[in-house]
Amino acid sequence: METTKPTYAIVFPGQGSQFPGMADPWSTHPAGELVLGEASASMGRDIAAGCHDEAALATTEFVQPALLACGVAAFEVLSAEGLMEGSVVGAAGHSLGEFGALVAAGVLTLPQALEVVVIRGAAMQLAGQERPGTMSALLGVGSADARTLCDDTREDDVLVVANENSPVQVVISGSVPAIERAEALAKERKIRVVRLSVAGAFHSSLMEPASAPINEALDRFVFAPPRFPIAENVTGTLVDDPAELRRLVSLHVLSAVRWEACAQALAAAGASTFIECGAGDVLTKLAKRVVPELRAVAVGSPEAAAEALAAPAA
């Protein structure tokens, strides 16, 4: 009897997944060590050492490139352990993680992506200081209820749905007064709400000051055709045109992350297994909500990478 071969969606986590020592496992594998060395050289800072600095991990400026390096290291270890390019139906990354998907698909090199992400992290940190805001997760509701909550509490402030993560988890973003009003009304409506520890109102118009420096950085590079499609955050659809990827990434920091749609698009493309590359297992847990019929595994070490590839199709 012929065994069905697994087909993979490779996904990369975003900011919030970081933890102290997250780069350490990858330094034990030649492919991971090579990525961390390349990233450290590009940044002029030892990534693995920085991942033990909790003050650095609390800043958008450091944590974004560090997460990118860890995600790409995980992907390169997977490739070294036997991941076949033809078995990957697509990739995606949650917010910052989309740059990991761009590197994995060959759209940007790691040094190119790091250059953009270093600027992106610093620009977002500064935008959060210039135009203060915050974010809160709404648990147990979907996007429609979250939009209604925003409409009912926005008044003259900025308040939007920022992350459509799953049918039962949505993140809202906006000015501090608007978020506080939304949190109060959410509690009245028996919606569980959790304030996030972030440096600003990401994926809202309050990030507008970050757009110009990010786009200036993007303009330095030509986007290459991807080796496999990318489920793009802005649209939630699979994209394989490099010009369109470039256009959508330029909108990224101001637009909602349509993660639920991204996961559904990758499943529709034929993925049998979601492999989360890098720190934590946030996207693995979300996959179990969005596409519960598929297998989802988090790869946080070379051993986990080997185990993920050894498992049969779901």
Residues pairing with 105 in the sheet: none
Q: Edge-to-edge strand order for the sheet containing 192-195?
A: 159-166, 169-174, 134-139, 192-195
Active site residue 40: no
Active site residue 205: no
Determine which one of 173, 203, 204, 272 is catalytic: 203
Contact present, 206 and 174 (Cβ < 8 Å): yes
CB atoms under 10 Å from CB of 84, counted, come to 11
- Which residue is catalytic, options 17, 40, 42, 95? 95
* Contact between 302 and 77 (Cβ < 8 Å): yes
Catalytic residues: 95, 203
